[in-house]
Every structure is written in C-alpha cells, then in structure tokens.
Structure 1
Amino acid sequence: MSEMRHYLTVFGYYAKLAIQRQLEYPLFLVSWLIMIPTQYFAGIWMLRIIVDRFQPLEGWTFDDLAFLYGLGLLSHGLVVVFFIPTWGTETAVIRGEFDRLLLRPMNVFFQFVTGYFNFIGLIDLIPGIVIFLYAAHAVDFSWEASNIVKLALVVIGGLFIRGSLYTIVGAVAFWTKRSRNLIGMSIATLERTTMYPLTLYPYAVQALLTFLFPIGFISFYPAESFLGKPASLELPFDMAVWTLAAGIVCMIVAYTVFRLGLRKYESAGS
C-alpha cells in the first residue's frame, strides 16, 4: 500500500511539472484547441455526408455511427493524455533516454509512461465528449447507473487496448531502432477501424480485429450492446466487462513485450 502511495505521489509530481512546461507556450495550446476539434468534427461531418448521399452502413444510421464514433473518441482522448510517450519510444531509444530511467529505483515502464503527462491532450477529449453526448441524446441512451458503470468500463478498457497497442508497436524500436512509421500506421488504423461498424470488413479482418488485435472491443461491440443491435459476437456477461478484460490482458502482454525489449536496449553509446 505504501509503495502504491509512493508511485501515485511521483506521478503527481510528474504531472505537475509536465503541466507547467506545457502552459509556458499558450499559443501552442490555442492552436491545438483549434486544430483538434476541427479534425474530429470534420470526421463526423464526413459520416453525415456518407449516410445522406448513400444509405445507412450495414443498418447503422448517422446517429448510430455518431454514437460509435464518439464512444471511440473518449478512449482516444485519454490515451493521448496518458500514453503519448509510447509514440516517441524510437526517439527515447536512439537518444539513450532510458539510461537515467534504468538508474532510478522505480519501475522503468511506469517512469517512461508517466514521465510526460500530456495535459494539452485533454483537448482531444472535447470533440469526443460533444459528439458522444449529442449521439447519446439522439439514440435515447439511458443514463441509468448500470449504463454509466458500463460506459466507464468500456472507456477504461478502450484506453488500455489503445495504450497497449502503442506500447507494443513502440517497443519494436528496442530491436530495430525504428518504430515511428509503425506508430503512425497504428494511429491511422485505430482511427479508421473505430469509426465504422466492424461488419463492413471481410470476415477475416473482423476476426483479426477481434481476437488478435481486439480493436473491435474499443467501441464497436459495446456500441452494439448499448444500441440494442443484434450481437455480432455472442459472449457470456456484458460486453463492457469483456472490453475491460481485453484491455487488461492487452496491457499485460504489452508490459511483457516492453520488458523483453528493454533487455535489448543498448544505451546511447559514447
């Protein structure tokens, strides 16, 4: 218990310092506040155009798609806040930044992930919250206690799934010294695959995004459950529980891969 309190205290100091650094550049904060919401509101507008010009996608109306999209953006916003250091694993490896982390008497993965609390990343949550609240109203989402708990489980599980994927992909740099392009591809893949119903893809892709890379659990399967649609995947217990379980398993795998990669770390040299 005391060790956990110590880690939480350290995280608090890291977060405080990171926030102070980021607030030193207010114009950057303003530009981020303009760019990020514009990007994601443009995405929802694109969905509106697709549905209006053509037809509902696999039976998903615009309001359904907005609910799916907003639900996915909630975990995306949080992963940008808490796991953005994993996007720069390549740079940390090449610059030898793990040297000082290895010298400290604390878990290296904890230090690496919490070393930069991306306060500005909270802006990524704004479009997600706005879009989700709009869609929740449009589809008559019931804000009863059980649904709120399920929603929390889905967002936390989605955060873990996203964070674990970025951790694994970033850890490739321990072996190859390169992972930036893979991170970019992963970000694009997550944006696209959480934006549309999984049933739009061939069965092989659906299986891949369910069992190997459980991206479907981030928003698609929970959205099906919340919206009362026929389940594409029959499982015991509620889908929110499976999303959290998938996230925890993914984080365990990601942590293991990170630790294995750390053994291959060669420092920066002289």
Structure 2
Amino acid sequence: MSGVKHYFTVFGYYAKLAIQRQLEYPLFLVSWLLMIPTQYFAGIWMLRIIVDKFQPLEGWTFNDLAFLYGLGLLSHGLVVVFFIPTWGTESAVLRGEFDRLLLRPLNVFFQFITGYFNFIGLIDLIPGIVIFLYAAHAVGFNWGLLSILKLVITIIGGVLIRGGIYTIVGAVAFWTKRSGNLIGMTIATLERTTMYPLTLYPYVVQVVLTFLLPIGFISFYPAESFLGKTASLELPVDMTIGTLIVGLVCMAVAYMVFRQGLRRYESAGS
C-alpha cells in the first residue's frame, strides 16, 4: 500500500512541475483554446451537413451521431492529458531520454507516462463535454446513477484502449527508431473511425476495428447500448463492462510490448 502511495506522490510532483512549465507560455494556452474547440466543433458541423444531405447514416440520426462523437471525444481528451508522451516515443528513443529513466528506482513505464502531465490537453475535453451534453439532452439520455456509472466505466475503458494502442504503436521505435508517422496515422484513424457508426464500413473492416484494433469499443458499441439500438456485437457482459475489460487487456498487452521494446533500447551514448 505504501508503494502505491509513493507512486501517487511522485505523480503529484510530476504533474505540478508540468503544469508550472506549461503556464509559463500563456499565449500558447490561448492559441490552443481557440484552435482545438474550433477543430472539433467543425467536425460536428460536418456531421450535420452529411446527415442533412444524405439522411440518417445506417439509421443513425444527427443526434445519435453527435452522442457517438461526443462520447469518443471524452476519452480522447483524457488520453491527450495522460498519455501524450506515447506520441513522442520516437523522439525519446533517439534522444536517449530513457537513459535517465532507467537509472531511477521507479518503473520506467510509469516514469515515461507520468513524466509529462499535459495540463493544456484539458482543453481537448471542452468540445467533448459540450457536444456530449447537447447530444445527451437531444436523445433523452437517462442521468440516473447506474447510467452515470456506466458512462464513467465506458470513458475509462476508452482511455485505456486509446492509451494502449498509442503505447504499442509508439513502442515500434525501440526496434525501428521510427514511429512518428505511425503515431500520426493512428491518431487520424482513431479520430475518423470514432466519428461514424462501425456498420458503415465493410464487414472485414468492422472485424479489424473490433478484434485487431478494438476501436469499436471506445464509443460505437457503448453508444449502441446507451441509445437502445440493436447490438451489433453480443457479449456475455454489459457493453460498458466489455469496454473496460478490452481496455485493461489493451494496456496489459501495451505494457508487455513496451517492456520488450525497452530491452532493445540502445543508449544515445556520447
């Protein structure tokens, strides 16, 4: 128990230092505040245009799509806060930043993930919260205790899935020294595929986005459950619990891949 407390204490210090560093550049904070919400509100506007032009997509109305989109953005916003170091694994490998992490008496993966608490990334949550609250009201979402609990579990599961995928893709740099392009492609893929119902894609793509890259569990399958739609995938447990289980499995696999990659790490030397 004392070990867990120690890790939380270390995380607190890391977060405090990271916040202080980021607040040193207020203009960057302002620019981020303008840029990020604009980007995602433009995304929901595009969904509105698509539905108005082509009618509901596979039975999903604009309000349904907004609910799906907002739900996905909530986990995206938290990943940007807690897992953004995984986007820079390539740089960390090339610069030899793991040298100092390996010398410290702390888990290297923990140090790497918590070493940069992206306080400014909280801005990414703003459009997600606004869009989700609007859509939840529009579809008549039940704000009962059980529904809120399921929502929280779904978001946690979504964060773990996203974080696990980014960790695995970023860890490719341990073997190839390059993963930046793969990370960029993965970010774009996650952003695009969580905007639309999975049933829009060919069956083969649906299988890939369910079992190989379990992106469908981030928002699509839970949204189906919340909206009372016919389930595209039957699980022996509630879909929200399924999302959490998939998230935990993703993070476990990601941790093992990271550990294996770390064994291939070569110091930057002098």
Q: TM-score, normalised by structure 1?
A: 1.00
- Between stretches 217-226 and 231-240, larger displacement belongs to 231-240
Matches within 5 A, 1:218-237: 218-237=218-237
When the two chains are superposed, the root-mean-square deviation of aligned CA atoms in Å is 0.4
- Between stretches 234-243 and 17-26, larger displacement belongs to 234-243
How many Å apart are 1:217 and its aligned residue?
Answer: 0.3
Q: Corresponding residue for 1:21?
A: 21
Structure 1 residue runs of 4+, over 6 Å off? none
Count of paired positions: 270
Amino acid in structure 1 at the alignment position of 2:90: E
Matches within 5 A, 1:34-53: 34-53=34-53
Query: What is the rounded CA distance, in whole Å, between the counterparts of 2:70 and 2:28 in structure 1?
Result: 25
Amino acid in structure 1 at the alignment position of 2:52: D
Question: Equivalent residue of 1:58, what SS?
Answer: coil
Instruction: Mark the runs of 5 or more structure 2 residues left unpaired by the alignment.
Output: none
Query: What is the rounded CA distance, in whole Å, between the counterparts of 2:117 and 2:159 in structure 1?
Result: 15
Instruction: Mark the runs of 5 or more structure 1 residues left unpaired by the alignment.
Output: none
Q: Corresponding residue for 2:192?
A: 192
Q: Corresponding residue for 1:164?
A: 164
1:66 counterpart = 2:66:
yes
Matches within 5 A, 1:1-270: 1-270=1-270
Structure 1 residues 137-163: Cα deviation after superposition (integer angstroms, max 9, x where no partner): 000000001100000000000000000
Structure 1 residues 198-246: Cα deviation after superposition (integer angstroms, max 9, x where no partner): 0000111101111111100000000000000000001122100000000
Query: What is the rounded CA distance, in whole Å, between the counterparts of 1:234 and 1:111 in structure 2?
Result: 38
Amino acid in structure 1 at the alignment position of 2:219: S
Amino acid in structure 2 at the alignment position of 1:167: T
Query: What is the rounded CA distance, in whole Å, between the counterparts of 1:235 and 1:50 in structure 2?
Result: 31
Identity of aligned residues (%): 84
Question: Equivalent residue of 1:31, what SS?
Answer: helix
How many Å apart are 1:31 and its aligned residue?
Answer: 0.2
Query: What is the rounded CA distance, in whole Å, between the counterparts of 1:191 and 1:201 in structure 2?
Result: 15
Query: What is the rounded CA distance, in whole Å, between the counterparts of 1:136 and 1:7 in structure 2?
Result: 36
Amino acid in structure 2 at the alignment position of 1:67: F
Q: TM-score, normalised by structure 2?
A: 1.00
